[in-house]
Structure 1
Amino acid sequence: MKIAAMGAGGVGGYFGARLQQAGHEVTFFARGKHLQALQRDGLSVESAHGNARLKVRVFEDPRAAGVVDVVLFAVKLWDTESAAERLRPVVGKDTIVIPFQNGVESTERVGGILGKEKVLGGSAYIGTRIKAPGVIEHSGQMARLQFGPVLPSQRAAAEAFLEACKGASIQAEIPDDIVRASWEKFVFLVGLSSATAVSRSPVGVVRADPDLRWLLEQAMRETWRVGRARGVALADDFVDARLKFADTLHADMKASLLHDLENGGRLEAPWLCGAVARMARAAGFDAPVNRSVYAALKPYIEGR
C-alpha cells in the first residue's frame, strides 16, 4: 500500500516505520529539526519490540508526495485543520484518512475539510515520544491501533488496511463500534494526561499516591459521564476497569501532554480536559476536576 504519515512524531513515526519495514511505501511529513534529521540520518526507532533505523521518504510539503491509499493522521490537536488543508494533494478518490489523535472530535474536524466519506475513526494506544530529532522512543510494551468505518462505504478500505497492519506485526483491530472505542481511549487518556501533567509525574507516582489516584479516577468519571450524556455506550464499570489497567502500565509512562509540558511545547489541553469541561457545560452539568486541571494548565497552553 501507499501510506502517508501526516506527522512523523511518536505515533506516525513508530507505526509508519513498522509498515515500511513490512514492505509498504510510506511517506512521512515533518517539519523543522525533525525533518532535517530524517532527511540526513533516516528514522530511528528505539523499542522493546525491536530497534530500527530506516532511510525514509520524507517531505515538508505534501504536494511533493503524490496520492496515497491511506493517511495516518497523527498531528497535534491544535494543528488539525491546517494539516488537513495541507493534505489535499495526497487525498485521491479512494484515499482514506485515519486520525490517530488524542481527542474525540477529529473525525468531524478533518471530515469537515476533506469530506466525511474520506475519514474513518481511529485510536492509537502507545507510549512514544521524539527522543531527539529523527529518533522515536517507545516505552513499555503497548503498541496497538484501533480504527474502523463510520460509514458503511468505508469498511472495505478499513479491512484492507487491517491486513496491512497484521502483515507488519502491528496489533490492530476494527472494533464493532469505533465511536465507543474512541471514547474509551478518551476517558482513560483525559484521566492519565490530567493526573500526570498536573503532578509533573509518571503514572507510577500517580497510581501510588491516594490523592493523585483520586484525581485520575474523578477525571475519568467526569469524562465517562459526558460520553454517556452524548449517547456513547460506555460500560457501567468502565472506569473501575481502567483503574485496574493503569496498575499494569510501565511505572515511567507519561502522557504526551506531560512530555509537551516538560519540553515547553504547546499543549493539547483544550481538546482533552478542556473539551470535557466544555462538553459537560453544553450538556447542562459541571466537570469540576477537568475544569480545574484545565485552569491550572492554561498559562502553559501556548508553550514557552
Structure 2
Amino acid sequence: MKIAIYGAGAIGGYIAALLTQSGEEVSVIARGPHLAAIKANGLALDMNGERIITHPVATDNPADLGEQDFVIVSLKAHSVPNVVDAMQPLLGEKTAVVTAVNGVPWWYFYKLPGEWENRKIESVDPGGKQWDGIGPERAIGCVVYPACEILEPGVVRHIDGNRFTLGESSGEKTERVRALSQAMINAGLKAPVRNIRDEIWVKLWGNLCFNPLSALTNATLDIVATDPGTRAVARNMMLEAQAIGEKLGVRFAIDVDKRIAGAAAVGAHTTSMLQDFTLGRPMEIDALVTAVQELGRITDVKTPTIDTVLPIVQLRGRIAGCY
C-alpha cells in the first residue's frame, strides 16, 4: 500500500520507520533540518537498544508523491488546517486520511446518530477547512498512545508504548480500516479496531485537565493528580467532560477516581502541554480543552470548572507566545 506520513516528527517518524521496514511503500512529508537529514542519511529509529535505519521517500512537497491509499496525519491539531490545501495531491477518490492527532477530532459528529449529526467543531476546524477540504468520509480515527522524541534531525527515539487504536466514525469494521490495522500489526505495532469515540474520550478525559493544570503550575503529572487542590480541580473538569461524553453516547469503562489514580501511577511525567510551554512551542489548548467546552455548549451541558481553567491557560499561552 502507498502510505504517506504527513508530519514525520517523533510519532510520525516512528510509524514511518516501522512501516518502511515491514515493506510498505512509505513516504514522509517533513521540513527543515529533519527533512534534510532524512534525505541524506535515512530515517533512524532508536528502539530496544538498537538503531534501525530506513529510507522512506522524503519531501516537503506533497505534489511529488501523488495519490495515496492512506495519509496518516501526525501533526499537532492546530497545524492541520494550514496544510489542507497542500495535502490535495495526495487525495484520490479512495484515499483514507488517518487522524493520529490528540484531542477532539474535526470529524467527530460525522455519522453520529442523533440531533448533532454532521455538526462542525469550530475550535478545531475553523471555517470547516478540514471538513470541506479533506472530507469526513475519508477520515479514520486514531488514538495515539506511544511516547517518542526526536533526538536530533533524522533520528527518532522510541520511549514507550506501541498502540494506535483505529476506528471508523460509523463504527463499522470496513475493509480499509482492517487493511490499515493489519499493515500496522505487520510492522510490530498494536492496532486494534475499536469504537473510536469511546477510545478518544479515554485519552481526552485525562488530557483535558492534566495538561492545562500542569502548564499552569509547572507540576509533573504525579503531583497534579495527587495534590488535593489540583486533584479536585481535575476531578471536576473530568466529571463535566464525562457528562458531555455520556450525552453524546460515550461509555466510560472506569470511574473518574480510577482514571486519576492511573494518571498518578505514571509518575513524574511532564505533560505535552507543559513541554510545549517550556520550549516556546504552540500549545494544544483548543483540541484538548476548548473543543470540550464547545461540545458542552452544543449538548447544553454546563462546564463551570472547564470555563474557569480554559481562559487562564489561554492567557498564559498568549503571554508566552505559545497560543
TM-score by length of structure 2 reads 0.83
Matched-pair identity in %: 26
Measure, in 2, the Cα distance between the counterparts of 1:242 and 1:285. Answer: 21
Alignment counterpart, residue 161 of structure 1, candidates 159, 172, 180? 180
Task: Return 5+ residue gaps in structure 2 as ranges.
Answer: 109-124
Q: Contact between 1:27 and 1:57, CA under 8 Å: does it hold in 2?
A: yes
SS of structure 1 residue aligned to 2:97: strand
Matches within 5 A, 1:237-256: 237-249=254-266, 251-256=267-272
Alignment counterpart, residue 141 of structure 2, candidates 121, 129, 134? 121
Measure, in 2, the Cα distance between the counterparts of 1:49 and 1:247. Answer: 28
| Shift of residue 147, structure 1, vs aligned partner | 1.0
- Is 1:26 the equivalent of 2:26? yes
Measure, in 2, the Cα distance between the counterparts of 1:71 and 1:5. Answer: 6
1:241-266 CA-to-partner distances (Å, cap 9, x unmatched) read 322322442x2433322221111011
Q: Contact between 2:198 and 2:252, CA under 8 Å: does it hold in 1?
A: no
- Is 1:235 the equivalent of 2:252? yes
Q: Contact between 1:111 and 1:117, CA under 8 Å: does it hold in 2?
A: no
Report the equivalent of 2:43: 43
Alignment counterpart, residue 179 of structure 1, candidates 180, 197, 206? 197
Q: Contact between 2:244 and 2:301, CA under 8 Å: does it hold in 1?
A: no
Q: Contact between 2:198 and 2:251, CA under 8 Å: does it hold in 1?
A: yes
SS of structure 2 residue aligned to 1:171: coil
Q: 1:43 to 1:255 in 2, by over 3 A?
A: farther
Measure, in 1, the Cα distance between the counterparts of 2:312 and 2:67. Answer: 43
Report the equivalent of 2:162: 143
| Shift of residue 273, structure 1, vs aligned partner | 1.5
Measure, in 2, the Cα distance between the counterparts of 1:180 and 1:76. Answer: 21
Q: 1:199 to 1:126 in 2, by over 3 A?
A: farther
Report the equivalent of 2:88: 88
Report the equivalent of 2:230: 212
1:118-162 CA-to-partner distances (Å, cap 9, x unmatched) read 1122211122333433333333x3221111122478710000111
| Shift of residue 267, structure 1, vs aligned partner | 1.4
AA matched with 1:241: K
TM-score by length of structure 1 reads 0.88
Matches within 5 A, 1:278-293: 278-293=294-309
Alignment: residue pair count: 300
AA matched with 2:213: A
Structure with higher strand content: 1
